[in-house]
Amino acid sequence: MELSSILGLPLGLMRGAQFLTLMAEAFRYRSQMEPETVNATDCSDSSKYAYGIAGICEIFGCSKPTAQRLKKSGVIKDAIIQTGRTIVIDRQMALDLVKKDNENKKGGRRCRK
């Protein structure tokens, strides 16, 4: 089937084979137009830092009150740079600090280890 004849048909009047031909051509065109992928190890500066309490929420996947409590506890103090009301968090350092803090804990409030 010729692509130009298929393009002139309304979608409701196409047969299954015509529709599949059209979709295959669309995917082929799309794969040619996609830009090159970027490696996961290639981090730009914008992904290295998070900003504000919302940034803490994004890093740890928690609510705003939990993020405020985490910041106030001092666990991620070394990962935070705060000037006035502006908060900048180094993502990797914050994750490492929380991981280190979790390793030091023995259990919950009722655990007597």
- pLDDT of 28-78, one tens digit each? 888 777 665 544 444 455 589 999 999 999 999 999 999 999 999 999 999
Q: Is residue 40 part of a domain?
A: no
- Lowest pLDDT segment from 15-24, 64-73, 83-92, 100-109: 100-109
Domain region containing 10: 3-33
Mean of pLDDT values over 89-98:
93
pTM over 0.75: no
- Quick one: 53 and 24 in the same domain? no
- Quick one: 93 and 67 in the same domain? yes
Rounded Cα distance, 1 and 21, in Å: 8
CA atoms lying within 13 Å on the CB side of residue 54: 2
- Quick one: 78 and 52 in the same domain? yes
Residues β-bridged to residue 50: 89
Q: Is residue 112 part of a domain?
A: no
The domain tally of the chain equals 2
The helix-helix angle for 52-60 and 64-73 (nearest 10°) equals 100
Write phi, then psi, for 50 (nearest 5 degrees): -120, 155
- Quick one: 16 and 61 in the same domain? no
